[in-house]
Structure 1
Amino acid sequence: MKKLLSILLVLALCLAVTACGGLTNEPAEAPAATQPAAEVTSEVSAGTPAEAPADDGYAPFVPVQGVDDTTIYVGNTAATTGSFATVGVPFNAGMDAAFKEYNDQGGFRGKSIQLIHYDDGFDAAQGLTYTKTLVETDKVFAIVGHFGTNTVGATLDYIKEMGIPMVYAATGIEDLYQEGATGNAKVVYPVQPIYNSEGRVLLARAVAPVEGSLGLGGTKIGVVATTDDAGTGLVYGVKKQAETLDVEIFYQDVDAAATDYSAAVNVLKNNGCDVIIACMNQTPLATLMASMRDANYNANVITSYVNASAVTLGAFVENGSITKDRTVYSTAWLDTSTDEGMAGYMTFYEAMSAWELENGGTGNDNALNSYAMAGYIAGNLFVQALQDLDAKGLELNWANFNDVMEEVEFQVPMGGTINFHNGDRLAITSLALNTISLEVGESGYYELQVVSPIMSLDDVLASIG
């Protein structure tokens, strides 16, 4: 039973690329679901005028809001109707499950978390309008599970201006990446991988030793990067990490829309690159792999978690683009192959099932839904911050909340750890390394196989001599 569940989870987490890194281009393929936005009315104090700025320049428009005698109000805007409803509906359900789990345990000193949600239809302008409503009318304490590239990109400046905490963004856009953030900029807490940070991990794994399955053992690295956001963000990270590693790197830029990358491939082949970092999404990755196949170029390839699709990579095996001498490795930020990862999944499942049964579901509707898992993670990390505040006996206000967010080493359910120390907003850099099976597995499909479990970037770098 456990083995079957593990197989099913691998398939589910393969789909997490759209739950956790997509939300940028094409709508979900599944038919649109429909669920009305939650209508929540609340009477929350308007807050008091902001106090003098902290030493680091933090100056929110009020010290705290969204907290009354019984409730802590948080909010998000997410597409829960239309093409992205198949993402937004389970994502919000996952958050609600995490909040119910916490509330049922007594909440924060008897206060329950309540989510106020608006359906922005995946429209940036509407998302900004609703975010302002959440902050200025509903007066929420925090934005939790901020949803989608369009809305997140349109609202980051506003969130920083107001100084309201934002925990978890369901996107990995470059604008989320910050090093040493201070003042109001520090209130943004991204979690799922950001391209700029993941590029650092890709280079570290590319050169880490093969022994112990830590990396690919590359000695001369080729980088093929599309000139879109994905490519430029990943290349930024590669170049950032290259500052600390003594390794020869050759860079080639390509057009994401091109149908042949033979020129770039031949440059890297002629220079003897033994590992290729593919800084791109799925469609250009197919072009790269076909070009390497046609050039008879046998080098291992490592790429972003957004390409960790068993369907996509299995197709490369079928057409000969992937062989035993030309394998594709991808990162992953969730991993249920370990006992700890499976325990994290079971905690999610129990919370999700309890919420569903209370809200007219079967208890198994979202058991393998990666979007619900992502939402649960968003809610759970917010809860972890409240638990630390409670344990320290601190007053619930924005200054204390931000201090805790900076200090805590958070455990990501089904994942590794993340912290926001010293103002760094790098998102998750503790990632696993997967590859694709060369034969169809017990599931009847090609399967992602864990090569190396989740490791922190620091631990991977420590293995490099």
Structure 2
Amino acid sequence: MKKLVLLLVAVFSLFGLIACVDNTEDEKTLDSIVITAEPTKVEYNLGEELDLTGLAVKAVYSDETEVELAVADLTVTGFDNTTASEQTITVTYQRMNATFTVNVFDPDAERVLRSISVKSLPTTQQYAVGESFDDTGLVIEALYENGDREEVTEYTLTGFTSEAVKLDGVITVTFEEETTTFTYKVREIIVQGVTDTTITVGNTAATSGYFAAVGIPFNAGIEAYFFKVNEAGGINGRTLEFITYDDGFDATAGLNYTKQLVEEDNVFALVGHFGTPTVGATLGYIQETGVPMVYAATGINSLYFEKEDGLSNPVMAVQPIYKTDGRIMTTRALNESLFGANGDAQLPSDAKVGVLHTTTDDGMSIKAGIEVQAATEGREDDFIYRSFSAADTAALAAAILDLQTEGVQAVIVASNQAPFKAAVGALDSAGLTVPVFTSYVNADATSVDPTIDYGFPMFANAWLDIVDPEGTNGLSDAYWTFATDMTAAGYGDYAANAFAMAGYIAASIFVEGLNRVDDGLLTWETYIDAMESAEINVPMGGVVDFTEGKRWGIASMALLQLDNSGDLPAWAKVRNIETIQDIQAK
């Protein structure tokens, strides 16, 4: 058996219809500076000097590049060690400001209240309409002028109401003359789909038509994992029930079926939310209702969320966001030793890199990551972008001719499977011989033509790694567990299918959250809190981290190379799972 790396594949997006040349170049400007870590010391006594140890600040530019700034390059103002007070410290870099707060105390001062803060938020921060406020877990801390701190209980709370849905509620805490606030949400529903014996979940997926080759094995992977759990007795005696609808890879149908799942079938969660059209059309609805969504079978950039302080975000994507995908493939192209006659040299520092991208969400999302990383590495002027459509072969040929004329020494194809197959076929027909890099969504046998002996090396990202030279037939124990579970559930035909792996992983990560809640009260909020409590190991892969509200997807990937010399195309691992920083350090 060949030693393969089977990549978890995202679903296709719709094709762009027009190929054009993108020569727009905007001047790079500084947009903002952001404090990513405050100084270790933020409390002082009178007379002590400001200590900036631990301070980390980054500059964010108009092209979305980010640069870590040295403290020596910053101007810091606002600190006064002669006055006992709460002080706002301003950090300035090229006229851009950011702030943090320090406290200066007089140890000999009277014990006078300075401020209060929320030391611990209430256990419950989301409520059903009509539900009463529960302050269990709420801890308020008072800070005094002499530096003393103490927990207080004689405070008052105002601002809570649950008469109607409210997604931006604010509660004010008052103690003596000082106030602070925290937030809450009121939803129509805070849990559903859970009985003493069952937990019902669902998804919509394309299981007919062209995309059935993706949707059917994807759902088979979900069902196989649930079968395994149910055969073992379920989760605390509850078996998992799975409802799925065929949305035909259509956004409108996907939205309607998602609403049916939530409002009529009363599912507890959406597991394996499928495809760019449906995911893009339903994110707002999911955020509004609060129903947990675990794993999105796409990597569109709208799945990326910063932390929503104090409130649970129900959207929990897993596979890499396309922007991250684009950044990593660009980092590989610029830093790996994959070039030259022997494939062991780095790309010259002045080499041109061509980028062929579709104009659909997936292509533009990947392109955004390429642009960011090229600029981050100071190579933005070396990248040449051309858009294409698989449907317009003449325009695709013209775009490739442009890249050849420019003398590119590497090509990145930013698209999903069908456009990618068209692009690499056209690159081969044009006689291109330079290395080609592409997204993790294309590292599957179906994404290339097995009848073509491509005249260039082809590389793809991969966020799963099932290769183990010491394992059975060169594959890892995690893979064989997957294959065994697929066979036991009656889906043995999909035991080597990348799409089935995707569904299996979606189900396993969902179940991990249930296991963490264990025999506690299962609600949407407690489930999401459990998912955020620690990193989650991904079967056949690395980890996904939802802690502290992160919604970034997996941010480390392996590198595969196409082997098209056998009966079927195969993608073999040539680099292990690594972060951007790991790759840049080579």
- Please state which band the TM-score falls in when normalised by the shorter chain: 0.7 to 0.9
Task: Please tell me whether residue 304 in structure 1 is matched to residue 434 in structure 2.
Answer: no
Structure 2: stretches of 5+ with no match in the other structure? 17-126, 134-159, 161-168, 171-181
Distance 1:265 1:97 in 2: 43
Match for residue 269 of structure 2? 142
Matching residue's letter, 1:335: D
Change (3 A) 1:109 1:97: same
Match for residue 251 of structure 1? 384
Q: What is the CA deviation profile of residues 33-56 of structure 1, one whole-angstrom value per residue up to 9, with x for unaligned ones?
A: xxxxxxxxxxxxx97756665956
Q: Superposed, which structure 2 residues align to 1:76-225 within 5 Å?
A: 76-81=203-208, 84-180=211-307, 186-210=313-337, 217=347, 219=349, 220=351, 221-225=353-357
Matching residue's letter, 1:435: Q
Q: Superposed, which structure 2 residues align to 1:280-295 within 5 Å?
A: 280-281=415-416, 285=420, 289=424
| More displaced 10-residue stretch of structure 1: 214-223 or 87-96 | 214-223
Distance 1:310 1:209 in 2: 24
Instruction: Tell me how far 1:376 sits from its aligned partner.
Output: 1.1
Match for residue 458 of structure 2? 328
Match for residue 409 of structure 1? 535
Change (3 A) 1:291 1:64: closer
Distance 1:215 1:131 in 2: 50
Match for residue 434 of structure 1? 560
Match for residue 399 of structure 1? 525
| More displaced 10-residue stretch of structure 1: 193-202 or 304-313 | 304-313
Task: Please tell me whether residue 355 in structure 1 is matched to residue 345 in structure 2.
Answer: no
Match of 2:516 among 388, 391, 401: 388
Instruction: Tell me how far 1:159 sits from its aligned partner.
Output: 0.9
Instruction: Report the secondary structure of 2:243's partner residue.
Output: strand
Instruction: Report the secondary structure of 2:394's partner residue.
Output: coil
Instruction: Tell me how far 1:162 sits from its aligned partner.
Output: 0.5
Match for residue 378 of structure 1? 506
Instruction: Report the secondary structure of 1:186's partner residue.
Output: coil
Q: Is the 8 A contact 1:149 1:170 kept in 2?
A: yes
Task: Please tell me whether residue 277 in structure 1 is matched to residue 451 in structure 2.
Answer: no
Distance 1:134 1:336 in 2: 34
Paired positions, count? 417
Instruction: Tell me how far 1:378 sits from its aligned partner.
Output: 1.0
Instruction: Report the secondary structure of 1:414's partner residue.
Output: coil
Matching residue's letter, 1:140: V
TM-score normalized with structure 2 length: 0.62
Q: Is the 8 A contact 2:417 2:447 kept in 1?
A: yes
Change (3 A) 1:24 1:373: farther
Change (3 A) 1:285 1:397: closer
Matching residue's letter, 2:582: D
Q: What is the CA deviation profile of residues 383-409 of structure 1, one whole-angstrom value per residue up to 9, with x for unaligned ones?
A: 12222333xx75322222222323432
Q: What is the CA deviation profile of residues 271-323 of structure 1, one whole-angstrom value per residue up to 9, with x for unaligned ones?
A: 664332222345655665566667766432211123334465455853xxx43
Matching residue's letter, 2:484: E
Change (3 A) 1:138 1:184: farther
Change (3 A) 1:137 1:230: closer
Q: Is the 8 A contact 1:49 1:63 kept in 2?
A: no
Matching residue's letter, 1:21: V
Among the aligned pairs, what percent are the same residue? Answer: 40
Change (3 A) 1:80 1:308: closer
Instruction: Tell me how far 1:140 sits from its aligned partner.
Output: 1.9
Instruction: Report the secondary structure of 1:329's partner residue.
Output: strand
| More displaced 10-residue stretch of structure 1: 157-166 or 334-343 | 334-343
Distance 2:192 2:536 in 1: 24
| More displaced 10-residue stretch of structure 1: 267-276 or 449-458 | 267-276
Match for residue 454 of structure 1? 577
Distance 2:422 2:251 in 1: 31
Match for residue 35 of structure 2? none
Matching residue's letter, 2:414: C
Instruction: Tell me how far 1:235 sits from its aligned partner.
Output: 1.1
Distance 2:284 2:409 in 1: 42
Distance 1:137 1:311 in 2: 37
Q: What is the CA deviation profile of residues 91-135 of structure 1, one whole-angstrom value per residue up to 9, with x for unaligned ones?
A: 223212212322333433332222233344444333323322222
Instruction: Tell me how far 1:229 sits from its aligned partner.
Output: 2.7
Match for residue 360 of structure 1? none
Matching residue's letter, 1:449: A
Change (3 A) 1:170 1:262: closer
Distance 1:47 1:353 in 2: 42
Distance 2:424 2:213 in 1: 31
Instruction: Report the secondary structure of 2:261's partner residue.
Output: helix
Match for residue 138 of structure 2? none
Distance 1:284 1:82 in 2: 18
Matching residue's letter, 1:92: N
| More displaced 10-residue stretch of structure 1: 89-98 or 304-313 | 304-313
Instruction: Tell me how far 1:23 sits from its aligned partner.
Output: 6.3
Distance 2:411 2:536 in 1: 32
Higher strand share: 2
| More displaced 10-residue stretch of structure 1: 333-342 or 46-55 | 46-55
Instruction: Report the secondary structure of 2:278's partner residue.
Output: helix
Change (3 A) 1:389 1:123: same
Instruction: Report the secondary structure of 1:365's partner residue.
Output: helix
Match of 2:11 among 4, 21, 44: 21
Q: Is the 8 A contact 2:305 2:552 kept in 1?
A: yes
Change (3 A) 1:104 1:239: same
| More displaced 10-residue stretch of structure 1: 221-230 or 286-295 | 286-295
Structure 1: stretches of 5+ with no match in the other structure? 27-45, 357-362
Distance 1:233 1:83 in 2: 23
Change (3 A) 1:69 1:446: closer
Distance 1:365 1:62 in 2: 40
TM-score normalized with structure 1 length: 0.76
Distance 1:377 1:313 in 2: 25
Distance 2:312 2:360 in 1: 25
Instruction: Report the secondary structure of 1:167's partner residue.
Output: strand
Instruction: Report the secondary structure of 1:200's partner residue.
Output: helix
Task: Please tell me whether residue 228 in structure 1 is matched to residue 360 in structure 2.
Answer: yes
Change (3 A) 1:153 1:200: same
Q: Is the 8 A contact 2:129 2:186 kept in 1?
A: no
Q: Is the 8 A contact 1:67 1:141 kept in 2?
A: yes
Matching residue's letter, 1:209: E
Q: Is the 8 A contact 1:260 1:287 kept in 2?
A: no
- Aligned-residue RMSD, C-alpha: 3.6
Q: What is the CA deviation profile of residues 406-447 of structure 1, one whole-angstrom value per residue up to 9, with x for unaligned ones?
A: 343222222232223444433333322112236x23xx2443
Distance 1:352 1:79 in 2: 20
Higher helix share: 1
Q: Is the 8 A contact 2:190 2:290 kept in 1?
A: no
Matching residue's letter, 1:238: I
Change (3 A) 1:49 1:258: farther
